[in-house]
Amino acid sequence: MTDIAHALRDTLLALTRIPSPIGEEAELCDHVEGRLTRSLGGEAITRFHDSLIVHAAARNDAPKIALVGHLDTVRTQHDGPPRIEGNLLYGAGAADMKSGLAIMIELVERLDLDALPCDLTLIFYEREEGPFEENRLGPILDTHPELHELDLAICLEPSDNQMQLGAMGSIHATLTFLGRTAHSARPWQGDNALYKAANFIRELEQREPHDVELDGYLFREVMTPTIVHGGGPRNVVPGQAEVNVNYRFAPGRTAEEAYAELRELAGDQCKIQATDLSPAGHPHAGDRFIQHLMRCGVNGVRSKQAWTDVARFDAIGVPGVNLGPGTAAQAHQPNEYTELDHVFDGYGIFERFFARSEDNPLY
């Protein structure tokens, strides 16, 4: 095992040993802040609540690159403490996404920052694993206009080192179907709201996914009923039923435009209330820095068939892309683990991204 591999492993284990379930990121933020203050100096670091903006290398008139990762994890059950078993490192967030944070930290401590031809920022942020509105990256971007000047933001969400372009937008809406209650022995005196909800759910079932091609990559738009509640008590014809619909829409439209489509589909069958309007992110497959990153040894390239904070950068005009070393299938799982050799490989990709070479557009 190389020095770097040892270091990545130890750093990741240390990060994983500090619990950081969403909303409780302070201790992990302190740890990262302390470590980078020692290695980079305090003047490089801006703390914002329990998030950090780290200006690792400041350059004017040079490409501005950001590596971005969230400090928080979902709350899951684990049968043992964070630990290493062979190639696997176990612990909440090991894959999603402390593996990415470990690369970010080791990278800025090992790169020759003075020789770097680009401006380099790291963003460590809170509350990614919750609702769009509570995610701290939003306020960070709102209050740091210099981040709107970035040329590329790489989100190190777990992707098995696969490069995943763009992000699907995501809308959640509550559809409320109204009927008229009656005694269930005389249902013809009422109007069963469950029948209306069921008919709409069937409409969604019969709706085909809609594939949208952008920059040669496919995004598949899907509309899914994910929650239904209606009726009760049990001897009453239900007068109300609620359905949560999640619409995942492709880049190229605003969330408001996609919501208008859902509203039109619902028509006058029900009342509708949006509860989440998360924008999509363009793939930017032709971007020169993204093209360069594709050539740095990534494990394939595809579109991102989910929402990530790449969309938030897109919304402020900053191309973003998803690329992280974590084992994607382990995200949010009980007894989450990540594969250490993928973390080492991931480090190599980022090392090559910043390394001087003939075709590196950073130079």
- Under the rule (CB under 8 A), what is the footprint of a copy of itself? 168, 170, 172, 183-188, 192, 194-195, 197-199, 201-202, 205, 209, 222, 224-238, 241, 244, 246, 248, 305-307
Residue 112 or 205: which CB sits closer to a copy of itself?
Answer: 205
- Shortest separation between residue 224's beta carbon and a copy of itself, angstroms: 5
Could you tell me the two tokens for 98? 């402390």
Place of tokens 């800025």: 108
CB of 191 vs a copy of itself, minimal distance in Å: 11
Is residue 175 helix, strand or coil?
strand
Identify which of residues 107 and 214 has a Cβ nearer to a copy of itself in the complex. Answer: 214
Picking from 132, 123, 109, the residue whose alpha carbon sits closest to that of residue 153 is 123
Query: In Å, what is the CA distance from 45 to each residue of 65, 217, 230, 243?
Result: 16, 37, 51, 45
Least CB distance to a copy of itself at residue 307 (A) = 7
**In this structure, are residues 240 and 193 in contact, taking their beta carbons and an 8 Å threshold?**
yes
Measure CA 284 to chain center: 17
Q: Are 47 and 33 in contact (CB under 8 A)?
A: yes
Find the shortest distance in angstroms from Cβ 251 to a copy of itself. Answer: 13
Q: Nearest approach, Cβ of 247 to a copy of itself (angstroms)?
A: 9
Nearer to a copy of itself, 305 or 360 (CB): 305
- Per the annotation, the verdict on 128 as an active-site residue is yes
Question: Any alpha helices (H) in 46-180, and if so which ranges?
Answer: 99-110, 137-143
4 phi/psi in degrees, rounded to 5: -65, -40
Of these residues, 128, 129, 151, 314, which one is catalytic?
128
Closer to a copy of itself by CB, 202 or 295: give it. Answer: 202
Given 72, 287, 314, 336, which residue is catalytic?
72
Beta-bridge partner residues of 210: 221
Which residues does the annotation mark as catalytic?
72, 128
